[in-house]
Structure 1
Amino acid sequence: MSDATQSTASVGSPSAGGVSVYEQRPFFEKALRYGIQHGMLDNAKLDAIATDAPKGMVQIARYFGSEFLRPELEKAKDRIVNLVSLNLEISSAGDLRQAAELLRDHSFMSRSKAASDLLKALIVMPQNTHFGMNEHGGFTDKHIPLLAKWSLCSFTDYQTEFVKRHKVAQVMKAAIWLADALGLHVDDLEEAGCDAEAVIRTALLAAATRQTQMPDWVRFQKMVANLRKPQAGKNIVLALPKKLPAEFKAVVEAVRDSVEADLPKILDAKLTPQKLFNQTPAFVGRYFWVEDGLAEVDHFDREASAAWHKATGGHSDDSSLLTLFLCIAAGGKVSTGKTLLTEKSATALIRKIRKSGVQTELAKQFILDNAPIEHQGDYVRVWQAFIEDAQATLESDHDYKLHDALSLLRRECNVADE
């Protein structure tokens, strides 16, 4: 047995004055002393530890740098003692008898490797709940610098980081489970790069509205509309799925609390879903929906088609459209837009233009928001060509009797004869 091991074996219980020094010693040393004092570690085991330790130091020095440099060997000594200490304290939950039994039943090198494996697993655990922002796969050479850092960490540091990352991992696993139940694969979540808590929130709303699929934006808006119905708003139950694995219940319940806190705003009919979920900073990214461009375009087309048909009254001739565009550009509401003017309303329109001017962009934006996509370019060109020629006449103070302006409207727009 080496002198160092003999020295360790011969040390008795710490005196009262040396308690603080004893408590600061590596957990491995405490377990070793305990095992020696209680006859759990015989000379053969101590000799094996004394033989394994230098070999392990050289291997660790080589792995992190060079075994030929004394500073690297000194650091390797600290690392191997710390690694074994971590494994013993984690595995025994701080019980010295159990730790001594581990030293007795396993080799010194195996305890070092076991701790190294724990740290490697910790390093590749997710650090945040955003899909697409965490690394995939296991430990690789690029993680070695991180392992070098963590191999010298304290038990408290390890526990703190493990608890934090474990919770993140559970949130992500719960989101994956809930998404899968709604027909969405984890690959879709990765591609979307969404937040796991956002997925859970939407899944809870989907359950409350009896949805069986993860919603796209169109369906998400319908979900919100259903929640806002008077009969629904009073009886919203954010229940956890019956088949949700027990290991996920705590994290899903925590997220459910945040949804319940959001409900007053979600149920506020004064806030459109677009305004709340896409334009309110606190809600942007807080809920998840599948990005389905085709569905959104189809929905937009149907919505725009209805608005366009209502505003134009089904008319598509240039005169009717220019009449509508001019009324809108003069500050008129789309709902009161006209495709036919009387002599009196045409006169009133000209006077309004001469008082407040023409906002040409209002008409253009109306076209882009509501006209059929295939005709938008043509309608914009028709409008711009008209207003470039007509604006000076419509706004001219020299034509105080409005003769030129009225003649222009009769020629280009729809003005009924009286």
Structure 2
Amino acid sequence: MTLPHTPPTDSPATPGALQLHDARPFFDKALAYGVAHGIIGADRLAAIHTDAPKGMVQIARYFGSEFLRPELEKARDRMVNLVSLYLLDTTGGDLHEAAVSLRDNSFLSRSKGGSDMLKRLIAMPESSNFGMAGFADAETPLLAVWSLRSHADYRAELARRTQMATAIGAARWLAQQYELDEDELEAAGADAEAVIRTGLLMQALAPRAVDLGEWPNAVGFEKIVTALRKKKVAAPATLRLPAGLPADLRGAVEAQCATVLSDLPKLLDAATPLRNLLRPTGTFRARYFLLDDPLAEVDEYHRSLDALDADEEPPQPASKTWTKTVQGNDDEHSLLTLFLCLAAGVPKKTLLTEKTAASLVRKVRKSGWQPALAADFIGSHAPGVHRQDYNTLWTSFVQDAEKTLLSDMDYQMHDALALLRRECNVVGD
């Protein structure tokens, strides 16, 4: 009686089973197996012996110099690894199939196959950010690194980059539906996942926008949400995928549905300040991609002035104290730094050093703070048109930061200083 042939493989044994570890490259194992089982004969061995030195010289020349012994030795390692990568990937670790592949094809073709695999890997996006595309001149140094990496490393990186490529493909497709040029995504450094989430959000909140080819800017999106809040529209329990979405992109889009569904209730809740959610440096806004349109913001400002009743006075300008204190540094980080200084009772600044920030935290923990002082300063000195926004910004910061700033458990102030570095303007001493 004969037993059926079970191809030997280089795959891991059953978990918990004892197994001898063979550290040889897969090429060595396949070659030894082929010779031992009569698959690879003397003629093929001779051909491999002839091709191998040629390949070593070519690889050494590509990555450096073929005249230096260390470069040739490293080239040998690269070549063996490239052949091993190719054989492992094309045969699934089956030694019999790998030996047949070595018998039926030239040694250099197997090496080139491994090199081509790595070149395709390197050409794939390393990040899902549209502004971080790779450069052609980076191929050689990356190939030098990857030609010595294991097949497991290759497979893990291939899976990661494939996921990135699929996300970028889905984001491109969604952008095209809204007639949004990819150049705008690159210029803004948009993350593919953020584009996908925004597309899903618009599908839920304003499905007709896609027919108009209008990707939302911050002002337009705020108007959409404000109108829905007035109508007391409830957040949907499920999301409908865009019509015509290619099947191979569905997974990348569906992966973002949970995040959008969790954000929708907050977005439609009238009790949650919308400006706070949509502030440019906020975590909520960072999950989505809204176009920056300064003209739309200016236009909205003028419309708000036009909407004033005839008896109402126009918003008050900033006071001289505000202008002198802020000195044009009116970004959110600078303003929060100023407001924090006011609440802590220290000199007013829009920029702190690490040392000053640590002193401020110690003072707050020793003597407490008075957030109302900052609110009073905003009410008395800030430009009238921005007072509500600044109050919202400060109130949100106080709610989020108070526990950390006053914590008795953060002895080394690591959490407090990390908070200030993230939310305020803190630079090294």
TM-score by length of 1: 0.67
Deviations 1:171-226 (A, max 9, x none): 11111111111111222211111111111111001111212131122221133235
Partner of 1:241: 242
> Cα offset for 1:293?
2.3
Mark the CA change 1:165 to 1:310 in structure 2 (over 3 Å): closer, same or farther.
farther
Distance in 2 (alpha carbons) for counterparts of 1:62 and 1:255: 46
Residue matched to 1:170: 166
Counterpart position of 2:108: 109
Question: 2:196 is matched with which residue: 188, 196, 200?
Answer: 200
* Structure 1 residues 310 and 216: alpha-carbon distance in aligned structure 2, compared to 1, 3 A threshold: farther
* Structure 2 residue aligned with 1:99: 98
Gaps in structure 2 of 5+ consecutive residues: 1-17, 321-375, 389-429
Query: Aligned to 1:365, which of 365, 372, 383?
Result: 383
Alignment of 1:135-174 (within 5 A): 135-136=134-135, 139-140=136-137, 142-174=138-170
Matches within 5 A, 1:12-91: 20-21=20-21, 23-91=22-90
What is residue 415 of structure 1 aligned with on the other side? none
Output one character per residue of 1:313-368: Cα deviation in whole Å (capped at 9) or x when no partner: xxxxxxxx8xx969x99xxxxxxxxxxxxxxxxxxxxxxxxxxxx98984771278
Q: 1:185 aligns with which of 181, 185, 190?
A: 181
Per-residue deviation, 1:151:
0.8
Contact 2:316 2:383 in 1 (8 A): no
Aligned to 2:269: 268
In structure 2, give the amino acid aligned to 1:107. Answer: S
Conserved? CA contact 2:130–2:185, under 8 Å:
yes
Q: Aligned AA for 2:383?
A: Q
Distance 1:206 1:173 in 2: 18
Any idea what the Cα deviations from partners look like across 1:129-181, whole Å, max 9, x if unmatched?
A: 21102325xx43x4322221111101111111111111111111111111111
Larger mean CA deviation between 276-285 and 360-369 belongs to 360-369
Per the TM alignment, residue 70 of structure 1 is displaced from its structure 2 partner at its CA by 1.4
- Alpha-carbon deviation of 1:85? 0.2
Count of residues in correspondence between the two structures: 310
Distance (whole Å) between structure 1 residues aligned to residue 310 and residue 237 of structure 2: 37
Partner secondary structure for residue 20 of structure 1 = coil
The DSSP-based 3-state class of the residue aligned with 1:291 is coil
- 1:215-241 C-alpha deviation (Å, 9 max, x unpaired): 122221133235535563154642111
| Letter paired with 1:303 | S
Are residues 1:292 and 2:293 paired?
Answer: yes
CA contact (8 A) 1:84 1:115 kept: yes
Q: Distance in 2 between matches of 1:359 and 1:224?
A: 31
1:257 alignment partner, SS class: helix
Unaligned runs of 5+ in 1: 1-17, 313-320, 330-357, 371-418
Moved over 6 A (4+): 358-361, 367-370
Aligned-residue CA RMSD (Å): 3.0
Whole-Å separation in 1 of the counterparts to 2:378 and 2:223: 34
Q: Which runs of structure 2 are paired with 1:229-378 in the superposition (5 Å)? A: 232-235=233-236, 237-278=238-279, 281-307=282-308, 309=310, 311-312=312-313, 362=380, 365-366=383-384
Contact kept in structure 2, 1:198 and 1:286, CA below 8 Å:
yes
State the shift of 1:19 in Å. Answer: 6.7
Amino acid of the structure 2 residue aligned with 1:44: D
Relative to structure 1, the CA distance from residue 360 to residue 114 in structure 2 (aligned partners, 3 Å threshold; closer, same or farther) is closer
Question: Measured at CA, do residues 227 and 239 of structure 1 come closer, stay the same or move farther in structure 2, by a change above 3 Å?
Answer: farther
Provide the rounded CA distance (Å) in 1 between the counterparts of 2:25 and 2:297: 61
CA deviations 1:33-82 (Å, max 9, x no partner) are: 23333433233222211111111011111212221221111111111000
Q: Which has more radius of gyration?
A: 1
SS of the residue corresponding to residue 214 of structure 1 reads coil
Residues 10-47 of structure 1: CA deviation (Å, up to 9, x unaligned): xxxxxxxx9735x3111111222233334332332222
Distance 1:248 1:268 in 2: 31
- Given that 2:55 and 2:79 are in contact with CA atoms closer than 8 Å, whether structure 1 keeps it comes out as yes
